[in-house]
Structure 1
Amino acid sequence: MSSSNALPRTDPEVDTSAGRVQGSWRIDRDGHRSAAFLGIPFAEPPVGDLRFAAPVPHRPWPGVHPATDFGATAQRGNAGPTLIPEPSIPGESTLNVNVFTPTPTTGADLPVLVYIHGGGFFAGSPASPWYDGAQFNRDGVITVSISYRLGFDGFGWIADAPHNRGVLDWLLALEWVQENIAAFGGDPGRVTLVGQSAGGGAVLTLLGMPRAQGLFHAAFSISGTTADLSLARAEGYGRSLVSAAGVEPTRAALASLTEAEILELQMKAMRTAMRGNPLSLLKKFLDDGLPLAPVVDGDLVPRPALEAIRAGIGADKPLVLGATDDEFTMLLHRIKAQLRFVPARLLLGLAGLKGHQRTAYLAANDDVIRRGNAAILGRYITDRTFRALALSIAESRAEAPMWLYRFSWPSPKYDSAVHCLDVPFFFDCLDAPGVEAVTGNAPPQALADDLHARAVSFVQHGDPGWPRFTSAEPSTHIFDTSSRTDPDGYAGVRPLLSI
């Protein structure tokens, strides 16, 4: 790792399994030099005969492949409901990786962070400026961001196509890392898998997959949520979508539909699903989850992630797990005034929480109730979607290396710690485009220093530096302007786990 402001006169080049790639040198804000290799294809473009097929490793190319610009993204136009700037880039070769390294040479044996972006499994882009690995490079960590097929192309049920094509993309990208990262200065024996939102769910899915066990060595799930779709539900959604197009649910028939036509079918299905009473829709979402996501197919994904983790799969891998305090409270901002006229007990009942669980939950979250009805309903959405899963996994892995956290710093833009807010703190990129719109104009750099340093420590040493979560001591680290360790930071969630 060099702190010199001088850049070499020649661009960095590295040999990969498919051929030589040429990246570019960079100087970060602190004067540290690193190299970026962008848009390296790890698979053949998933078009033509390879559309709706398992990914195929990219064939060798002649000469030197330029890797100075981000590759094509699976996301087309609509970035979905996200606060993160995630550009869509046209092109067919959408299965690619971006490698950020301080030392693009063999023998450095640096730890590696592999990042999977979120976006509800139907949107998102690895080309976001928030996912740049410059500050991890500064601290001696190689960062790799990967792409994967989204929406119906990646996760839709088709009668004669492999299930979980997006999951197969994750696996092939991780295999590429194992085969090639040493040439970029990385240690394939020290790979930490990181993801946020749907990407955090991807981390948990892979953690519980037998086939993925040798491809990474530690995991960090940021606001991870799993869908664990049943085959029956996946098939029902798939048949409904293709029926609307008037074609059979086969690869040959679907090949007659353009990418844009399938995207429009997805959007129509989404708009239809969003019609109706807001609280009824909320309950349906909390009960059913996402319609396009990893499917429990009994083969590649043998069982739901939580069930697999409870069975001990991935128990040898250190795991950090957590969420923001109020992931989706921002969605209630528009109806905040109306919600204040509805008793909190009734609101939670309409959202599906009733009986002794509701009584216990309200008692355990009295501090949130004092902030208003929108706050308690938003906290319940957060807990049902993210934090109950995190606590369940933590309790099931209590004797394995496990750390739990909460990101609690409230953005002045939303008066709470909302979804995606923690990402620029994790990457230590508070000066990146789009961050101010989420954090306000004076985000605490000390908090970024703390969270980022903890992440670096975990990637380098397998320990983030706060007490482990155990059955006897369910410790939780709280990230705020005065970070601390809470002896039971998820106590407010625990009533949701009772029967």
Structure 2
Amino acid sequence: MGEPAERYAEVKTRAGLLRGRWRGEPGAPGASAAFLGIPFAEPPVGERRYAPPVPKAPWDGVRDALERGATPYRKGGTPALIPEAAVPGDSTLNIDVFTPDPGPDARLPVLVWIHGGGFTAGSPACPWYDGDAFCRDGVVTANLSYRLGFDGFGWIDGAPANRGALDWLAALTWVQDNIAAFGGDPARVTVAGQSAGGAAVLALLAMPRANGLFSRAWALSPAPAYGSMARAEAFARRITDQVGVPPTREALLAVPESKLLKIQRKEVGRHSGNVAAAVTAALAEGLPYGPLVDGDLLPRPVPEMIAAGRGAAVPLVVGTCDDELAPALKDAHRLLRYLPPWLVLGRIGLTGRTRRAWLAANRDARRRGTKAVLARYATDRAFRAGVPALLAARDRGGATGTWLYRFAWRSPVYDAAIHCLDVPFFFDHLAAASVARIAGDAPPQPLAAEIHGAATRFARTGDPGWTPATPASPAARVFDTPSTTDPDGYASARILTPSA
């Protein structure tokens, strides 16, 4: 017998008809239709390269949405924990939609995913982000792309700041305008993302122009990525000096993308040979690219905007892995194993009573050695320090709700709950390509069912299923085998940031 004939699905968007592909028998349990590489904006090339996104012009006939779209991500640099697919091409501002019930009558909840990658890498074309499990559970899923690195977030004289963030807004506007045609409910859109994508979620909460584009938010491991214009300008001038052109839009339009990428990778990795310098720089400076305080899209820093009440009407789930930065210290084991934890922490600025209190609160990491201690400290400083402050933000309590969690299950590959480890659990994709590389050969499926179930419930109802945290009761769900509730789940980070 031959292969079964492919079945196609068609939807009508505002720009024209789209043809997607069914995976499974239409209407059967677990079946979903995938619409891939849908352009939400014109290709950001030529005169549009450093400009705001321009909505995609309508087309005639039926447009195929059967293959992944081009990605802003280009191969190169440090290998990622998540398998990031780079698809060549110019039409990089696109979105993938996965739906169990295409058509305007389903009105299903929607989850919009923003990928991570430090704002210099990452790709929506990743098997971990496939929406089939969410579709199985009645949630339409959309994965968006956005401009990265210098093209998306670099300071350029004569160009708008935050071009990558403008891409998020354009994609979310497209979702509001079109997702009903795919069976989604535009009034129940959850925006979610991990690492840089988690930082994007918090930035969107803070942006006045994002008001009304989503109704719920889930930030996985939001990275320290909110920079100042002064720092961004200094970084841009360092890059353009090496290119040999002034940092103006007119001059940079003539510089090939490949040349900028080569210099960008060199600058981003300039501390890679010195563990102490790399950790200290990362904690002090954050990521080199990310949303900027530009006086327009972001009038003030993201933490200040949220503290002042921006996004308070949006239910928020936010959490981290316990040992986010352990992989970055993998090659430092020989150097660190003979050094006592207190000495290493002192060299990077943690001393006195605070050091003693923090070490007492992290006895589990101490039992695993100095490398584990340093990874936990860097995690607290880089990923967790801002989380307690979210609870103190004006109007975030009450009916809206803020839910905290920690992902504590330790991978047998790293003996740590590392950065990115929670992503295949969130998507319920433990059998996907390369998951075993970070999670081992037998990651716990019940834990994936629990976390994915919480995400599905949140998309449906705005409540993930555990008690929300408040300043008076800052409890966090601790995802592990078994999972528990810690009544003060971020106490370790609060030791480092007592003002929170």
- When residues 248 and 190 of structure 1 are mapped into structure 2, their CA distance, relative to the original with a 3 A threshold, is same
Deviation at 1:81, TM superposition (A): 4.5
Q: Does 1:482 align with 2:482?
A: yes
State how 1:59-458 maps to structure 2 within 5 Å. Answer: 59-78=57-76, 80-275=78-273, 277-396=274-393, 397-399=396-398, 400-458=400-458
For 1:270, give the aligned amino acid: V
Indicate the SS of the match to 1:220: strand
- When residues 440 and 9 of structure 1 are mapped into structure 2, their CA distance, relative to the original with a 3 A threshold, is closer
Deviation at 1:352, TM superposition (A): 2.1
Q: Which residue of 2 aligns with 1:3?
A: none
* Post-superposition CA distance 1:149-182 (Å, at most 9, x none): 0000000010000000000000000000000000
Q: Which residue of 1 aligns with 2:494?
A: 494
Indicate the SS of the match to 1:272: coil
C-alpha distance in 2 between matches for 1:120 and 1:472: 33
C-alpha distance in 2 between matches for 1:122 and 1:156: 11
CA contact (8 A) 2:40 2:170 kept: yes
CA contact (8 A) 1:283 1:350 kept: no
For 1:324, give the aligned amino acid: C
CA contact (8 A) 2:84 2:125 kept: yes
C-alpha distance in 2 between matches for 1:140 and 1:370: 43
CA contact (8 A) 2:475 2:486 kept: yes
C-alpha distance in 2 between matches for 1:92 and 1:394: 42
C-alpha distance in 2 between matches for 1:292 and 1:81: 18
CA contact (8 A) 1:321 1:405 kept: yes
Deviation at 1:329, TM superposition (A): 1.2
User: Mean alpha-carbon deviation: is it higher for 482-491 or for 17-26?
Assistant: 482-491
For 2:335, give the aligned amino acid: Q
* Post-superposition CA distance 1:414-439 (Å, at most 9, x none): 00110111100100011111111111
Deviation at 1:80, TM superposition (A): 4.1
Indicate the SS of the match to 1:179: helix
CA contact (8 A) 2:196 2:225 kept: no
Indicate the SS of the match to 1:12: strand
Deviation at 1:364, TM superposition (A): 1.8
The RMSD of aligned alpha carbons is 1.7
- When residues 23 and 321 of structure 1 are mapped into structure 2, their CA distance, relative to the original with a 3 A threshold, is same
* Post-superposition CA distance 1:426-455 (Å, at most 9, x none): 000111111111111111110001100011
CA contact (8 A) 1:37 1:100 kept: yes
- Aligned pairs, number: 492
C-alpha distance in 1 between matches for 2:238 and 2:371: 35
CA contact (8 A) 1:321 1:403 kept: yes
C-alpha distance in 1 between matches for 2:126 and 2:56: 24
Deviation at 1:199, TM superposition (A): 0.3
- When residues 50 and 330 of structure 1 are mapped into structure 2, their CA distance, relative to the original with a 3 A threshold, is same
Q: Which residue of 2 aligns with 1:44?
A: 42
C-alpha distance in 2 between matches for 1:269 and 1:83: 21
For 1:325, give the aligned amino acid: D
Q: Which runs of 5+ in 1 are unaligned?
A: 1-5
CA contact (8 A) 2:15 2:57 kept: yes
CA contact (8 A) 1:326 1:379 kept: yes
Deviation at 1:472, TM superposition (A): 2.2
C-alpha distance in 1 between matches for 2:114 and 2:95: 10
User: Mean alpha-carbon deviation: is it higher for 254-263 or for 93-102?
Assistant: 254-263
- When residues 377 and 10 of structure 1 are mapped into structure 2, their CA distance, relative to the original with a 3 A threshold, is closer
CA contact (8 A) 2:42 2:56 kept: yes
C-alpha distance in 2 between matches for 1:433 and 1:377: 30
Deviation at 1:271, TM superposition (A): 3.9
- When residues 9 and 377 of structure 1 are mapped into structure 2, their CA distance, relative to the original with a 3 A threshold, is closer
Q: Kindly report structure 1 stretches of 4+ aligned residues shifted beyond 4 Å.
A: 6-10
State how 1:451-466 maps to structure 2 within 5 Å. Answer: 451-466=451-466
Deviation at 1:392, TM superposition (A): 2.0
Indicate the SS of the match to 2:239: helix
C-alpha distance in 2 between matches for 1:480 and 1:79: 32
CA contact (8 A) 2:169 2:210 kept: yes
Q: Does 1:53 align with 2:51?
A: yes
CA contact (8 A) 2:268 2:288 kept: no
* Post-superposition CA distance 1:245-268 (Å, at most 9, x none): 111111111111111111011022
C-alpha distance in 1 between matches for 2:332 and 2:289: 28
CA contact (8 A) 1:227 1:294 kept: yes
CA contact (8 A) 1:79 1:88 kept: no
Indicate the SS of the match to 2:219: strand
* Post-superposition CA distance 1:300-335 (Å, at most 9, x none): 111111111110100111000001100111222222
C-alpha distance in 1 between matches for 2:441 and 2:24: 24
User: Mean alpha-carbon deviation: is it higher for 353-362 or for 225-234?
Assistant: 353-362
Provide the identity percentage: 55
C-alpha distance in 2 between matches for 1:67 and 1:143: 15
- When residues 132 and 79 of structure 1 are mapped into structure 2, their CA distance, relative to the original with a 3 A threshold, is farther
Deviation at 1:228, TM superposition (A): 1.5
- When residues 495 and 444 of structure 1 are mapped into structure 2, their CA distance, relative to the original with a 3 A threshold, is same
